[in-house]
């Protein structure tokens, strides 16, 4: 088989875990062709975000030195634990020195200018993956496996110039194939590609959006006509809901692309919501696997599984959201609608859910809590004094997902009567006509209870 394997987050939190993952790769590589995609070590991207903002807004001379020293220490330690060969070790050390030297200069530049553009921000964020990939590759090399590390651009991931959320261009499939295929077929090597980052045609580094390494993996899989994508995590796979909320939550062995996408959009941390696009067309299955339980089959995300038995297959809960409500009389609603979404899009406010009253006097949108300020400001003057824009905080979105809901009467009835029986008030409802998901809003402190009620109602445990 040809498999693209992605490692990220807690699976690569330190040198020991990188070594463990590299051993897994070596084991599966014996009978398969493998391409590895790696994200930054756990927490590194967040600390780069923090450092870039701090250098821009509140520069202090000691900060950069300290930050670079910490990054050096963390990555050096990872090398020491992950790489078992002195010569290879010192080569990676000097690579890390070179990268961190470059990062130090960029951060200094930001603090002098007091300006952080989306382009320079992407450049800074790219260092997490650029530091991690050589370490992983060196770990493989020190086990006697031929390997080399590639940055997104080297691997052929060419994107547009939408820094922060860059889109791969249509031609990437060809460029990725020409860069990577010879490495696995002729050189019999394991390429280790930095996830999350690409490059513009002019050679500037871009990022694909937070969590974008999943998308790197599926792009490569699609370009190489891989048999499967394996996303390695610290859990067995996709669960019926968060086990922290419902201890009886169960592993879902198979789930369709659409269901997985709905769940990811609605807050279940399965994979980057856009990551399935490249593999769906080619029907390449994506498997979620557990680094701590590698023999388990995990969850397979694949083409259309519509078991009528599982009407509702999974439940997700997003707790940090707010409703923005636009209401008023006497204005042209269609005009207001288009204006609302235009302004929200311009301000990069991500809309999670929409509902509208049929008298056309009321439009409610759910946004992430962190976007409330931006959204309210963007919509401030929208009703021109003829209405109001208000905000309801302390709410949560619950989404019930399952392809078996489509065409099955009575599902919504069961959802809402179970909630009613448990005295949970529903504030807002939405279901699109794909019928793969019913989403609704409740008071935040009733969110977990609502999930428990529905988990029981649909016998998911
Ligand atoms: N390191 C990036 C992030 O934290 C990309 C990824 O993890 O997939 O968002
Ligand atoms: Mg990350």
Helices (H), 126-185: 127-141, 172-185
- The reply to whether CATH 3.40.1160.10 applies to domain 2-234 is yes
What's residue 276's pLDDT? 94
Nearest to 200 by CA among 147, 164, 254, 251: 164
**pLDDT, tens digit only, all 461 positions of the chain:** 999 999 998 899 999 999 999 999 999 999 999 999 999 999 999 999 999 999 999 988 799 999 999 999 999 999 999 999 999 999 999 999 999 999 999 999 999 999 999 999 999 999 999 999 999 999 999 999 999 999 999 999 999 999 999 999 999 999 999 999 999 999 899 999 999 999 999 999 999 999 999 999 999 999 999 999 999 998 888 999 999 999 999 999 999 998 998 888 777 778 888 899 999 999 999 999 999 999 888 999 998 766 656 789 999 999 999 999 998 877 777 888 899 999 999 998 989 999 988 776 789 999 999 999 999 999 988 887 788 999 999 999 999 999 888 888 889 999 999 999 999 999 999 987 777 889 999 999 999 999 999 999 999 98
Which residue owns the Cα nearest ligand 1 atom 8?
A: 211
210 close to ligand 1 (CB < 6 Angstrom): yes
The strand pairing partners of 452, in sequence order, are none
* Phi, psi for residue 231 in degrees, rounded to 5: -100, 110
CA distance 55 to 108: 7
> 278: phi > 0 → left, psi -120 to 50 → alpha, else beta; which?
alpha
What's residue 236's pLDDT? 86
Residue with tokens 């599982």: 310
CA distance 275 to 453: 31
CATH 3.30.2130.10 in the chain, residue ranges: 314-457
Burial environment of residue 337 by CB neighbours within 10 A (0 to 12, 13 to 18, 19 or more):
middle
152 close to ligand 1 (CB < 6 Angstrom): no
What's residue 210's pLDDT? 92
Q: Per CATH, the architecture of 314-457 is what? A: 2-Layer Sandwich (3.30)
pTM for this model (two decimals)? 0.89
Ligand nearest to the CA of 128: 1
212 close to ligand 1 (CB < 6 Angstrom): yes
What's residue 309's pLDDT? 66
CA distance 396 to 374: 19
* Phi, psi for residue 119 in degrees, rounded to 5: -65, -45
Distances in Å between the Cα of 451 and the Cα atoms of 10, 112, 283, 314, 355 are 26, 50, 32, 10, 21
Atom of ligand 1 nearest to the CA of 9: 7
CATH 3.40.1160.10 in the chain, residue ranges: 2-234
What's residue 406's pLDDT? 82
| DSSP notation for 42-74 | TTHHHHHHHHHHHHHHS--HHHHHHHHHHHHHH
211 close to ligand 1 (CB < 6 Angstrom): yes
Atom of ligand 1 nearest to the CA of 211: 8
């Amino acid at each position: 088989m040809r498999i693209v394997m992605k490692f990220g987050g807690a699976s690569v939190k330190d040198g020991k875990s990188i070594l463990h993952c590299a051993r897994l790769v070596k084991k599966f590589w014996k009978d398969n062709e493998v391409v590895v995609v790696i994200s930054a070590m756990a927490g590194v991207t967040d600390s780069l975000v923090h450092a870039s903002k701090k250098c821009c807004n509140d520069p202090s001379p000691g900060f950069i030195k300290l930050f670079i020293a910490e990054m050096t220490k963390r990555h050096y330690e990872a090398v020491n634990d992950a790489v078992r060969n002195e010569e290879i070790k010192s080569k990676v050390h000097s690579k890390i020195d070179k990268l961190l030297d470059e990062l130090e200069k960029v951060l200094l530049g930001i603090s002098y200018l007091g300006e952080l553009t989306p382009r320079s921000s992407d450049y800074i964020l790219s260092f997490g993956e650029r530091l991690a990939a050589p370490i992983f590759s060196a770990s493989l090399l020190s086990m006697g496996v031929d390997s080399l590390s590639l940055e997104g651009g080297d691997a052929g991931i060419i994107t547009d110039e939408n820094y922060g959320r860059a889109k791969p261009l249509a031609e990437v499939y060809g460029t990725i194939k020409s860069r990577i295929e010879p490495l696995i077929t002729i050189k019999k090597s394991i390429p280790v590609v930095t996830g999350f980052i690409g490059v513009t045609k002019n050679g500037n580094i871009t990022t694909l959006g937070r969590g974008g390494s999943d998308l790197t993996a599926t792009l490569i899989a699609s370009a190489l006509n891989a048999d499967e994508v394996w996303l390695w995590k610290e859990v067995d796979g996709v669960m019926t809901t968060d086990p922290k909320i419902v201890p009886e939550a169960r592993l879902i062995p198979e789930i369709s692309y659409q269901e997985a996408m709905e769940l990811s959009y609605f807050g279940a941390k399965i994979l980057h919501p856009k990551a399935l696009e490249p593999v769906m067309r080619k029907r390449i299955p994506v498997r979620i696997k557990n680094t701590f339980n590698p023999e388990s089959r995990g969850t397979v995300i694949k083409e259309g599984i519509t078991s009528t038995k599982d009407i509702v297959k999974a439940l997700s809960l997003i707790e940090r959201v707010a409703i923005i409500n636009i209401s008023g009389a006497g204005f042209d609603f269609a005009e207001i609608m288009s204006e609302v979404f235009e302004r929200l899009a311009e301000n990069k406010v991500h809309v999670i859910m929409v509902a509208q009253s049929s008298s056309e006097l009321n439009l409610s949108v759910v946004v992430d809590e962190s976007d409330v300020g931006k959204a309210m400001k963007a919509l401030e003057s929208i009703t021109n004094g003829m209405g109001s824009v208000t905000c309801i905080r302390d709410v949560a979105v619950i989404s019930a997902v399952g392809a078996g809901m489509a065409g099955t009467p009575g599902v919504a009835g069961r959802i809402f009567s179970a909630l009613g029986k448990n005295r949970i008030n529903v504030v807002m409802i939405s279901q699109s006509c794909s019928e793969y998901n019913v989403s609704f809003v409740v008071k935040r402190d009733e969110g977990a209870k609502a999930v428990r009620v529905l988990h029981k109602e649909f016998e998911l445990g």
